[in-house]
């Protein structure tokens, strides 16, 4: 079943996290407010999370211990700019110290500017429903890059804008809890403009200040495979429509500046090429039914603890399609699975990296893989109950314990591939 394989020598592997999910202690963001309203399924709160804010040195040590050569970290906007136009130098200094620690340990940082969480002052102004958010986001971007740009050359402007909009403005399960298609489309448009403004600002500031390193900026796009549930032509039609509405329109709008239906029309900030890599967050496949326009799961397939289908081939297909469309390096900015017992995570990692090795053999420039996630964390509306970590976290004591899958992935990172010895010991 398993066979050894090699990944390119310059292929960088590591892990990804988000500030709100691991830091703890911040009462000034939209997710803390959501927790206080009792919206989290298991009753937990991001106020506790992993206490990473106070355990940076320990966690960087674990990253190094696991041989990760790349790490994607999020910044908490509400810490850096606690009030509109008022920046907290101690917060940006905290992140600077963490990034310096990563670099000293041979780990390349990739910084995410917005990962589902916003300052409460921005919420009070309508968040991304308000076009003023574009100027605010650009100002925040400039402050970050002016203060971190000598250390960090690689950035993600926005994480999964489609998931943010779907859950916050269509289903209403996430803040701000809206179920309003008109607002959803307005937010899609303004987030597109935020990305473009941020993309330009990052390049401009790093060039103006003479910071070294190649500037690389992109979006972490949540991409799924949308397949028809059956051979019924109506299911096929529904799958194509859902794919465009959920991911096609927003990805094309953000990368080119030309708004796609139903987000809008024209190019409010001009057309261009607003990406240096294509970031792909990949987890699963959707089986689409025309009846009820339903997003389902294929029968008789392997699923994770949240009921998501495990479909490694989808990662291969999405990367191939993305490269054909955009002709840019591919970075897997998230890929992982919810597996509380660590029963199938090792196999999951093996199967998905095997698909990436096939792409490399075909000359598709897949350059990075950031596993989601380094350690169990506050998994948004699921709370602490959904465990995606290579490292187990006991939230009562904050004790970190490396899982067997974490050990395997650490060996894969060290050797840039899978050996027979790894197969014998871990798979």
Report how far residue 149's alpha carbon sits from residue 393's, in angstroms, rounded to the nearest whole number: 32
Catalytic site includes residue 57: no
**Among this protein's residues, is 160 annotated catalytic?**
yes
Q: Which of 127, 138, 160, 384 is catalytic?
A: 160
Question: Of these residues, 23, 138, 309, 334, which one is catalytic?
Answer: 334
Catalytic residues: 160, 334
């Amino acid at each position: 079943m398993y066979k050894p394989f090699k990944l390119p020598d310059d292929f960088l592997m590591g892990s990804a996290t988000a500030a709100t999910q691991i830091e703890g202690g911040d009462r000034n963001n939209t997710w803390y407010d959501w927790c206080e309203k009792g919206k989290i399924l298991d009753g937990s709160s991001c106020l506790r999370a992993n206490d990473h804010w106070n355990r940076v040195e320990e966690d960087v040590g674990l990253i190094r211990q696991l041989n990760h050569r790349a790490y994607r970290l999020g910044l908490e906007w509400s810490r850096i700019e606690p009030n509109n136009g008022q920046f907290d130098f101690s917060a940006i200094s905290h992140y600077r110290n963490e990034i310096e620690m990563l670099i000293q340990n041979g780990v390349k940082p990739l910084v995410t500017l917005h990962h589902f969480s916003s300052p409460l002052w921005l919420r009070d102004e309508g968040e991304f429903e308000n076009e003023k958010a574009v100027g605010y986001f650009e100002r925040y971007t400039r402050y970050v890059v002016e203060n971190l740009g000598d250390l960090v050359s690689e950035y993600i402007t926005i994480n999964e804008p489609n998931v943010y909009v779907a859950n916050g403005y269509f289903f209403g399960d996430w803040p701000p809890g809206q179920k309003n298609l008109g607002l959803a489309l307005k937010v899609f448009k303004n987030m597109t403009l935020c990305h473009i403004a941020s993309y330009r600002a990052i390049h401009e500031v790093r060039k103006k200040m003479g910071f070294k390193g190649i500037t690389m900026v992109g979006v972490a796009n949540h991409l799924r495979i949308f397949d028809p549930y059956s051979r019924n032509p109506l299911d096929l039609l529904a799958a194509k429509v859902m794919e465009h509405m959920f991911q096609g329109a927003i990805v094309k709008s953000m990368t080119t500046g030309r708004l796609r239906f139903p987000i809008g029309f024209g190019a409010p900030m001009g057309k261009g090429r607003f990406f240096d890599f294509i970031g792909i967050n990949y987890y699963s496949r959707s089986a689409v039914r025309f009846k009820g326009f339903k997003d389902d799961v294929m029968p008789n397939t392997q699923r994770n603890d949240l009921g998501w289908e495990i479909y490694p081939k989808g990662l291969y297909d999405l990367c191939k399609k993305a490269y054909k469309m955009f002709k840019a390096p591919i970075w897997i900015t998230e890929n992982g699975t919810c597996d509380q017992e660590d029963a199938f995570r090792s196999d999951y990692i093996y199967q998905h990296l095997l698909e990436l090795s096939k792409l490399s053999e075909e000359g598709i420039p897949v350059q990075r893989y950031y596993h989601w996630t380094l350690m169990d964390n506050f998994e948004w509306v699921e709370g602490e109950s959904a465990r995606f970590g290579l490292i187990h976290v006991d939230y009562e004591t904050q004790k970190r314990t490396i899982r067997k899958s974490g050990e395997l992935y650490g060996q894969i990172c060290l050797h840039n591939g899978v050996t027979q010895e790894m197969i014998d010991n871990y798979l």
